[in-house]
Amino acid sequence: MGHWSPRIGDPSFMGWFTVASYFACAIVSLMLGSSRHRVDRRTFLFWVTIGLLMILLGINKQLDLQSLFTEIGRQIFRGQGWMEHRRIVQFWFIVAFGASALTGFLVFVRINGDLFRRFKLAFIGLLFLLCFIVIRAAGFHHFDVMLGFRLFGARMNWVLELTGIYLIFIAAFREILILKNMKKAVRDARQTYGGKFGKQLNNLTDL
């Protein structure tokens, strides 16, 4: 459609490295979520949702679907004769999109305060990705200089996107290790003490 066609959006090394990072993060998040399915429904939903989000973002990284949506909008503007007003509409769309995204994130943090306290690193990672998505949306409207800015030799889009991905990855992987160590400690205590105390500890192995 227009100037968009289905193709690999970023065939460079960094493009594929970012896709691999998204999928690695998705795998770890889904592993953590599945381990909490029976004992902590909210944690299960939180990490499974993050895992699915990472898969979608990884796919979109190379399909470049936002370019398709931009082209659709451009075609609509041409068809309706609104092209002379497109800059104003683009500006307010970016403002509304950014404000809505930030508001939604803050509301989510407010509602899930207990999860935020437990997984602050993951929430910070989500915030980095949210900033990247908002700036990326602006980039399609001729603000690419923001993402092209280099910080110690690394482009800003790499910094925002990869930092967000790996903060979430570290948060999930750390939680998996914590749960694994807790299970091991419970099993060791049960084997050591046995009896009535061991039966009480048996319930903790579902942590």
Structural domains in the chain (count): 1
For 98-107, write each residue's pLDDT tens digit: 899 899 999 9
User: In this predicted structure, what is the pLDDT of residue 152?
Assistant: 47
For 59-73, write each residue's pLDDT tens digit: 988 887 766 666 676
- In this structure, what token pair is assigned to residue 9? 């959006």
Q: Quick check: 94 pLDDT over 70?
A: yes
% of the chain residues with pLDDT over 90: 39
DSSP secondary structure letters along 104-148:
HHHHHHHHTHHHHHH-HHHHHHHHHHHHHHHHHHHHTTT-HHHHH
- In this structure, what token pair is assigned to residue 63? 């399909």
Residue 174 lies in a domain: yes
The residues pairing with 151 across neighbouring beta strands, listed in sequence order, are 154
Strands 154-155 and 150-151: antiparallel
User: In this predicted structure, what is the pLDDT of residue 160?
Assistant: 86
Residue 7 lies in a domain: no
Residue 139 lies in a domain: yes
- Please state the rounded mean pLDDT for residues 88-107: 85
Residue 2 lies in a domain: no
User: In this predicted structure, what is the pLDDT of residue 51?
Assistant: 97
Residue 115 lies in a domain: yes
- In this structure, what token pair is assigned to residue 146? 């923001």
Residue 6 lies in a domain: no
DSSP secondary structure letters along 13-50:
HHHHHHHHHHHHHHHHHHHHHHHTTTT-HHHHHHHHHH
For 138-161, write each residue's pLDDT tens digit: 655 555 555 555 554 456 677 889
Indicate the average pLDDT of the chain: 80
Q: Quick check: 197 pLDDT over 60?
A: no
H-helix or E-strand containing 154? Answer: strand 154-155
Residue 18 lies in a domain: yes
What is the domain extent for residue 19? 13-206
Residue 155 lies in a domain: yes
